[in-house]
Amino acid sequence: MSSPPPDTVTIAAVNVRPWPLFIDTATLSLPISFSDATYRINKNLRYFTGNYALIILIILLISLITRPISLVLFLIIFAGWIYLYFSRNEPLELFGFDIDDKFVLGFLTLVSFVALLVVKIWMNVVVSIGFGIVILCVHGALRAPEDHEDSPYGALLSDSPRGNYTIV
């Protein structure tokens, strides 16, 4: 009926950094300027994307504890997102037809918005995500990125701060 997803353990290991590295207090320091804080947030956001997403999701699910029907509904929707969109490397196959990723993304987004409308928890979700973003920004600004962390520019950067130029 559908193509099987790849091993989710290997996917989670790629996206989520080790938690001891994430909460290492030795790397915390105050930024010296606003631009330094935004640089740190940007670099930590790229490096700890999976960790931040899990923290925001946990905050959202904790906020839904008082509404168990909503909690179960969104756990099912979250499982659908994981299975149908995030954990696949190949196109989704349904009854012998390949389903485009854009269609799957649109369908899951529509289901999520309809569920939000039906259970009427817009404000709960907005406040939870806002609180998660505040935690993300505070952690990102206070944690000094290390040199060995992955750069989004990869091998384009040289080791020398002046670049790889020769004197003319």
> pLDDT tens for residues 61-85?
888 888 888 888 888 988 888 788 7
What are the φ/ψ torsions at residue 94 (nearest 5 degrees)? -130, 115
Q: What are phi and psi of 93, to 5 degrees?
A: -115, 125
Query: Which tokens go with 47?
Result: 């490096």
**H or E element at residue 97:** strand 97-99
Q: Say what the pTM is.
A: 0.65
- 97: β partners: 94
* Other beta carbons within 10 Å of 98: 11
User: pLDDT digit string (tens) for 3-38?
Assistant: 555 554 444 434 678 888 888 888 889 999 999 999
